[in-house]
Structure 1
């Protein structure tokens, strides 16, 4: 995606600022809360399920969900917060965007808020200062990585769910030999999915989840270490099983191939569940990333996606804290997770979800250790950007234009060029 030029960006920000100052969303009435969000698709869910459930125990606090178009949210929020016209509760994107709002004084500390004890350090990491001492948004939901598979295809071909990487590769080979289905539907044209549904999906099993992620941050591990090279070596094995033309295949193309029943396996994010629920006319299931042979502990990417913070300028802080504490409850987590299959409340409460595939994904929390994408906290602030380097290198090894060692060296050299702990 091309970046807007400075003049255009400045004009948009100025217009948004002017509009925000003319149309304030902060309630004029005490204890009426306005929630700012980029999730326009969720408006009906908040109005019909989440807010009514909250009002059953807090009928005196009015709540209004006021989303902005996703592409305009960042500019709108910066403008409204600067003008003092933003809502009481601010939906928080993970990591640097929200950290910037906190550093500018727009978000309050929530460490002592009742209910924060329900969240793990991994869940809170996306909305904390770099040293982990302050949390400024309540973790709301994550997405989980794994593999979605066509149950009918597996039954037809007599396939079992693979638990180890050798079993996984043997399964792909059997599907390829049969010829009825594309073994796995993923393309490399858009690049990001090779890293997101490839590298970040299977990688935590190699670098031991949070141990490896934090090791990159503190400099005790490097991307040229064997555990990272092995991730690239595994991705290099995928190419022959992605079907003809995969190098020109986009993300929507990959979704369509699977939903049409032409592919047996789909490297997935749990957000894909709703898409396939609406498009696939066959039964599908999910399995977690297979582990290397002989490894007992499994790791999953349970990636932080959305949080909720309190506007430091809110006139209704007490009511906002009450709502935020309720959002930390098991009741709120269950409502949110069932209303949006594939988006999971980040609290420690055990979730029971009606959608069977969404329930399968979240059940892995009880079997595996959770981590988040290793390029998202701190390590993509410089140039070259580690996240973008992982896109490029993941595509390179899958397409066969780069060896695993070359990919690891490129990613490491880029990170070490600007990040002192890696120098």
Structure 2
């Protein structure tokens, strides 16, 4: 065999090896959702790989409490995965500002999401979108259908009807009318204030006006929800002040409470724990005929490491995440975590179907404290926890709470000074 032939054979072998290597790209996904590992391994990854030859996916989660710190360390060291699962708002914005996430605005697939859906992963001016929206959680109320039938009450649609139902359960005496405590504080804000509040401040209209400085936390539409929460106290059962979040979950799933102020993330857990049929109703409107508003809160997105060695493969994967196929798999495997794409997803779980049906009936918004307004000290999100708990316990008046929150926000946020 002559030297020229040998050289050509070696060159051919090298090129074939390189081609094979290039055709078999592995993308690693960083995530805090370690409870989703089986879902990715058994459903999502096989579905993607079946239609995308040459791209392999490795899902590599970190414990939720450790995710931010470990991800930042990996990004700084250049050892992070190709795909970054994104928390909403400031945590991901900081990664983008530090040059760790890629602007995905030019991806055609981004047109499959509304402005509200994209707002959690955009720069403040909306000029750059750096994560594909994956899912949101919706707020409302979950109720015990057996209890409603037993006491002879109907699902309320107005605030007056809502309190009439609570009063009926209180008079009956066999059920705690509503299961929620104030011990952990966050639930009073998240399932209380942020649940019913958008009805008062008209969702995005009020939230954006607060960011611009056109409305203040002392305005009636921001104070009134605290007055409504104060009325809840009479229906939360004895000792609600010391009742923890798990306590409330147990009271409801054991059938001892009729109504549970909820986020849709409860669906999977409640399905396995409750032995009665459940229903859901949206936050009551103030009077019949009013526009309804729901907190359809952006919860999880997914972006691309700016230093990935496989940008084209990563964008191919992210485009697929924006597709109806992914939305259907994810939405049905995790009922209560609702895909954010414009394409409707048919839900199998009846409770999830009820929650997501409100998107076609109501105006969507996100939690008022999450975008921009909790970057300073005092932190408006954390202060809203305390204020909501105080409103329910009656330790401060709604007006006092609004004044305190406004002073805190104005102390560091220029548009509110």
TM-score in same-fold range (> 0.5):
yes
Equivalent of residue 232 in structure 1, options 206, 226, 250 = 226
Q: List alignment gaps of at least 5 residues for structure 2.
A: 1-20
- What is the Cα deviation at residue 29 of structure 1? 8.1
Equivalence map 1:44-59=2 (5 Å): 44-59=38-53
8 Å contact kept, 1:389–1:411: yes
Q: List alignment gaps of at least 5 residues for structure 1.
A: 1-26
Equivalent of residue 138 in structure 2, options 141, 144, 161 = 144
Query: Is 1:350 equivalent to 2:318 in the alignment?
Result: no
| Whole-angstrom distance in 2 between the partners of 1:145 and 1:370 | 10
| Whole-angstrom distance in 2 between the partners of 1:55 and 1:418 | 49
Corresponding residue of 1:180:
174
| Whole-angstrom distance in 2 between the partners of 1:253 and 1:28 | 54
Identify the range of structure 1 (68-77 vs 27-36) with the bigger mean alpha-carbon deviation.
27-36
Corresponding residue of 2:193:
199
Query: Is 1:393 equivalent to 2:387 in the alignment?
Result: yes
Equivalent of residue 305 in structure 1, options 299, 323, 328 = 299
8 Å contact kept, 2:374–2:380: yes
| Whole-angstrom distance in 2 between the partners of 1:98 and 1:228 | 28
The number of residue pairs the alignment matches comes to: 397
Query: Is 1:418 equivalent to 2:412 in the alignment?
Result: yes
Identify the range of structure 1 (240-249 vs 381-390) with the bigger mean alpha-carbon deviation.
381-390
Query: Is 1:384 equivalent to 2:350 in the alignment?
Result: no
8 Å contact kept, 1:30–1:315: no
| Whole-angstrom distance in 2 between the partners of 1:37 and 1:109 | 19
Corresponding residue of 1:374:
368
8 Å contact kept, 2:117–2:340: yes
Equivalent of residue 111 in structure 2, options 101, 117, 121 = 117
Corresponding residue of 1:107:
101
- What is the Cα deviation at residue 30 of structure 1? 5.4
1:246-279, CA deviations, whole angstroms, 9 ceiling, x for partnerless residues? 0000000000000000000000000111111111
8 Å contact kept, 1:181–1:263: yes
| Whole-angstrom distance in 1 between the partners of 2:289 and 2:172 | 30
| Whole-angstrom distance in 2 between the partners of 1:389 and 1:70 | 23
- Bigger CA radius of gyration: 2
1:143-182, CA deviations, whole angstroms, 9 ceiling, x for partnerless residues? 1000000000001111100000000011100010000000
- What is the Cα deviation at residue 56 of structure 1? 2.2
| Whole-angstrom distance in 2 between the partners of 1:338 and 1:304 | 17
Secondary structure of 2:331's counterpart equals helix
| Whole-angstrom distance in 1 between the partners of 2:286 and 2:404 | 24
| Whole-angstrom distance in 1 between the partners of 2:367 and 2:148 | 30
8 Å contact kept, 2:203–2:365: yes
- What is the Cα deviation at residue 296 of structure 1? 2.0
Query: Is 1:31 equivalent to 2:25 in the alignment?
Result: yes
Secondary structure of 2:228's counterpart equals helix
Corresponding residue of 2:12:
none
Equivalent of residue 255 in structure 2, options 254, 261, 267 = 261
Query: Is 1:75 equivalent to 2:69 in the alignment?
Result: yes
| Whole-angstrom distance in 1 between the partners of 2:271 and 2:156 | 23
- What is the Cα deviation at residue 70 of structure 1? 1.1
Secondary structure of 2:60's counterpart equals strand
Equivalence map 1:191-340=2 (5 Å): 191-340=185-334
Moved over 3 A (4+): 27-30
Task: Give the RMSD, CA atoms, in angstroms.
Answer: 1.2
Secondary structure of 1:142's counterpart equals strand
- What is the Cα deviation at residue 71 of structure 1? 1.6
8 Å contact kept, 1:223–1:408: yes
Corresponding residue of 2:354:
360
- What is the Cα deviation at residue 208 of structure 1? 0.6
Query: Is 1:156 equivalent to 2:119 in the alignment?
Result: no
8 Å contact kept, 2:24–2:54: no
- What is the Cα deviation at residue 31 of structure 1? 2.2
8 Å contact kept, 1:200–1:301: yes
8 Å contact kept, 1:30–1:316: no
